[in-house]
Amino acid sequence: MYAHVESSAPRCGEIPHLWSKPTNQRKLAWQVKFLRRPYSRDGRQHPLSSRAPDIRLDPTGVEMPMNATTSEPAQPDAAQPDAAQGAMAHALQIALRGPRTLNPQTGAVVVSADGRTLAEGWHRGAGTPHAEVDALSKLSPGEAEGATMVVTLEPCNHFGRTGPCALALIEAGISRVVYGAADPGIESGSGAERLREAGVQVERWAVDEAEALIADWLLVQRTGRPRVTVKWAQSLDGRTAAADGTSQWITGDAAREHVHQQRAAHDAIAVGTGTVIADDPRLTARIEGASQPRPVVFGTRSVPADARIREHPHEFQQVSGDLTASLELLASQGVQSVYVEGGPTLASAFLREGLVDDIHVYIAPTLLGGDRLATGDVGVTTIGQQLRLAVSKTQQLGDDILLIAHPAADAAAKKEDA
């Protein structure tokens, strides 16, 4: 589970009336296979590949079924196993068949009143039918009447490139909708409300995996830029290169293998021109069958004609100028996450400008001395300005240690106040 996905809703274990029932526990013990990006950003197998989704009923009451007469959250009936639970696990799985671009990956499954799977659908990218409509399109007229639509994301309620899914569901005669993540969009959101107004029973299930699936997309909606992970490999004395500028290699095989997993888990990989010139990196994820991040070079200097980055499976993109504007440009092109593997100049610029979500530092038990420090000007001139970090993970990788940290919440708040 991503460390950044937070919810005020209780975990499933905190709903004893639901979890005390063995049938429900069994039903919720799914294994969801990860289809496209098998690695999560903390370097383990992606959460969807290795564990059952946690399903919690939202206790806010906001998503209560329209016809509910009590303020208790809806509960599956133990005597009548709810096929929607298995359908949610499947919807999460098929959502991953869609691309990670401008739109969120979404999966949908239509379940009949007697628990049969009638159809499934997923979103194939901007301009194509949404998952619910894709699923409905596989049914004959009238077949969806009285059925349940299980979908990983709240059905949309706006006319974008396609019509509102909420309307399509109402017109198809769907009588119950179960969804995972809420749609935060001002225009696209409120589909649940519209469905409820039309008499459809609507349930929001707080499913961690549904939120995790689109966590980067949600961050893009909130900030206008992709998630940024800054990574570097350093000696124990905090250097990222020897005095002459050579740096390959500081860390060992296990750590570098981990880095390749990280590359595969991000949409783009970025370095500055300084690194291109000094290291001539390939910037590929060297794992068989891995998704390859798009290479991006920050800076104005030319990339040498024989640079290895030119052999990358994706053509590299060069950007320069304002970092925020460059990130927004990448977001507008569908990049939801960027792995910054540049040198100290670029890493420091991202840190200084408060554009970093995750910091991955690989620390090797070696000493390099000299002045090639991991960071330069991060905007700190006095101790009161230090960039405090919260550590979310440490991991031994061979002889090296990976430390994952994030700007501490209070540090971010201080920056906003300033």
Ligand X SMILES: NC(=O)C1=CN([C@@H]2O[C@H](COP(=O)(O)OP(=O)(O)OC[C@H]3O[C@@H](n4cnc5c(N)ncnc54)[C@H](OP(=O)(O)O)[C@@H]3O)[C@@H](O)[C@H]2O)C=CC1
Ligand Y SMILES: Nc1c(N[C@@H]2O[C@H](COP(=O)(O)O)[C@@H](O)[C@H]2O)[nH]c(=O)[nH]c1=O
Residues near ligand Y, by CB under 6 A: 233, 247-251, 255-256, 259, 271, 275, 279, 281-284, 341, 362
**Cα 254–chain centre separation:** 24
Looking at 98, 107, 129, 272, which residue binds ligand X (CB under 6 A)? 272
Task: For ligand Y, give the closer residue by CB, 33 or 286.
Answer: 286
What region does 327 belong to: left with phi over 0, alpha with psi -120 to 50, or beta? alpha
- Does 323 sit near ligand X (CB under 6 A)? yes
- Does 278 sit near ligand X (CB under 6 A)? yes
Task: For ligand Y, give the closer residue by CB, 78 or 307.
Answer: 307
**Smallest gap from residue 416 Cβ to ligand X (A):** 21
**Smallest gap from residue 151 Cβ to ligand X (A):** 41
> What span, in angstroms and rounded, lies between the C-alpha atoms of 5 and 244?
42
Task: For ligand X, give the closer residue by CB, 140 or 300.
Answer: 300
Nearest CA to 268 out of 357, 339, 327, 349 is that of 339
Q: Tokens in use for 82?
A: 């709810």
Residues ≥6 apart with Cβ < 8 Å to 75: 17, 18, 57
**Smallest gap from residue 401 Cβ to ligand X (A):** 14
Binding site partner of 152, from ligand Y, ligand X, none, Cβ cut-off 5-8 A by kind: none
**Smallest gap from residue 276 Cβ to ligand Y (A):** 8
Nearest CA to 276 out of 238, 235, 319, 313 is that of 319
- Does 3 sit near ligand X (CB under 6 A)? no
Residues 240-259 that bind ligand X (CB under 6 A): 240-241, 245, 247, 250
- Does 205 sit near ligand X (CB under 6 A)? no
List the helix and strand counts (H, then E) for the chain. 14, 14
Q: Is 328 a catalytic residue?
A: no
Task: For ligand Y, give the closer residue by CB, 203 or 341.
Answer: 341
Looking at 205, 217, 298, 316, which residue binds ligand X (CB under 6 A)? 298
Helix (H) or strand (E) holding 205: strand 201-207
What torsion do the CA atoms of 363, 276, 245, 267 make, to the nearest 10 degrees?
Answer: -10
Whether residue 151 contacts residue 106, with contact meaning beta carbons closer than 8 Å, is answered with yes
Reduced 3-state DSSP string for 147-168? CEEEEEECCCCCCCCCCCHHHH
Looking at 300, 305, 306, 384, which residue binds ligand X (CB under 6 A)? 300
User: Catalytic residue among 120, 132, 203, 341, which?
Assistant: 132
- Does 295 sit near ligand X (CB under 6 A)? no
**Smallest gap from residue 326 Cβ to ligand Y (A):** 18
Q: Tokens in use for 245?
A: 């500028």
Report the interface residues with ligand X, using CB under 6 A. Answer: 232-233, 240-241, 245, 247, 250, 271-275, 278-279, 298-301, 320, 323, 341-346, 349
The catalytic residue positions are 132
